[in-house]
Amino acid sequence: MSKLLILYTGGTIGMDYTPHGLAPVAGYLPRQLERLARQGVSWDVVEYPQLIDSSAITIAHWRQLVADIADAYQRYDGFVGIHGTDTMAYTASVLAFALHNLQKPVIVTGSQLPLVHPRSDGWNNVGVAIEAACQSDLHEVAIAFDNVLLRGCRARKVDATSFAGFDSPNAPPLARFGIAAHWQRSLWRQNRGEFRAVLPQEQDIRSGFLLPGGMAAAFGRWLAADTPHGALLFSYGNGNTPEEPALLEGIRAASAAGCVVVNLTQCPRGAVEVGAYAASQPLAQAGAVSAGDMTPEAAQAKLLLLLSQGLSAAEIRAAFGRDQAGEITLD
């Protein structure tokens, strides 16, 4: 018998049509979940008092979610987070970096169409999430969506119109579901050591998406003028940027002042590979650390959780390049 805790944060799945568009309806989703009852599994549901469209997610919501899972960790066999799709991959990444030595499944899901819609994908998504949360050897935070189970810190929302809303472009799925469930157990992480949760704290993390033209210089000036705790720079291809003095000077100044600057690729697939091109060297020399093939969601979450532990900038830069939750390919 598996005992699960279902944490309902909001999202399309539990929304209804209103004159202003889809909006969450308190109490509706927990009642509907009773229709999925089956032998061998039981659950408790926590419905948060403020159900949100996930575009409104904050660090405080994440802190609450991490604290609630940590408090309930010993009492349940697995956890299901019900969440809007817009920021689901961000939340899954935060959970992956906040829950250290996780030895139980934590599955996040939602839907593209609400349960009130006759063709809602929510039933199947929650059904798959519950089945995954009953796998006691799944020591992962994962997203269950449209018949795939994806590592949470590798997943991205890739489609806002089809049911196949998520993908993990740089990592294979942890399971696929047809009539049978195809669990890819050889890919699952084996965590040892004592479970421990790190609560995310407010941090000033900025991001800049490089565009041809004046953007590189503008980003550099922004960093130099107002040093944040961390910054994500979305560069081209394998981590390439123009050799723009204001950009490099901004990164140097911010890094010297303790800001952790991360170089991420704008490409949906592939990695920053420092040294592949001469154009990737200046950023590294100025002090930016490479995100490798991490997703933007994972990079933000990893930086946030490292900053939340009170480490020095040098310790964070070193830890950022190491694999923690299966988020990066190291060769």
**Chain residues that interact with ligand ASP, rule: CB under 6 A:** 10-12, 53-55, 84-86, 110, 112
Token output for 285: 């020399």
The residue among 144 and 313 lying less far from ligand ASP, judged by its C-beta, is 144
Query: Comparing C-alpha atoms, which of 90, 154, 155, 133 is closest to residue 326?
Result: 154
Query: Comparing C-alpha atoms, which of 82, 100, 193, 206 is closest to residue 144?
Result: 82
To ligand ASP, the closest distance from the beta carbon of 195 in angstroms equals 29
Q: Is the Cβ–Cβ distance between 242 and 267 less than 8 Å?
A: no
**For the stretch 145-159, what's the b/e string if a residue is b when 16 or more beta carbons lie within 10 angstroms of its beta carbon?**
bbbbbbbbbbbbbee
To which H or E segment does residue 143 belong? strand 141-145
To ligand ASP, the closest distance from the beta carbon of 193 in angstroms equals 34
* Rg of the chain on CA atoms, in Å: 20
> Is residue 12 among the annotated active site residues?
yes
Q: Is the Cβ–Cβ distance between 178 and 203 less than 8 Å?
A: no
CB closest to ligand ASP, residue no:
84
The residue among 10 and 292 lying less far from ligand ASP, judged by its C-beta, is 10
To ligand ASP, the closest distance from the beta carbon of 6 in angstroms equals 16
Strand 141-145 to 106-109 pairing: parallel
To ligand ASP, the closest distance from the beta carbon of 165 in angstroms equals 7
Which amino acid appears at position 72 of this protein?
A
CB neighbours (10 Å) of residue 224? Answer: 18
The residue among 54 and 295 lying less far from ligand ASP, judged by its C-beta, is 54
How many CA atoms within 13 Å lie on the side-chain side of 64? 14
To ligand ASP, the closest distance from the beta carbon of 64 in angstroms equals 16
The residue among 78 and 114 lying less far from ligand ASP, judged by its C-beta, is 114
Cα(290)–Cα(89) distance, integer angstroms: 20
Tell me which of 12, 85, 109, 227 is the catalytic residue: 12
Cα(147)–Cα(151) distance, integer angstroms: 13
The residue among 125 and 290 lying less far from ligand ASP, judged by its C-beta, is 125
To ligand ASP, the closest distance from the beta carbon of 12 in angstroms equals 3
Cα(153)–Cα(318) distance, integer angstroms: 19
Q: Is the Cβ–Cβ distance between 176 and 167 less than 8 Å?
A: no
To ligand ASP, the closest distance from the beta carbon of 199 in angstroms equals 23
The residue among 23 and 215 lying less far from ligand ASP, judged by its C-beta, is 23
The residue among 18 and 329 lying less far from ligand ASP, judged by its C-beta, is 18
| CA 55 from centre of chain | 14
Which residues is 46 bridged to in the sheet? 7
Residues catalogued as catalytic: 12
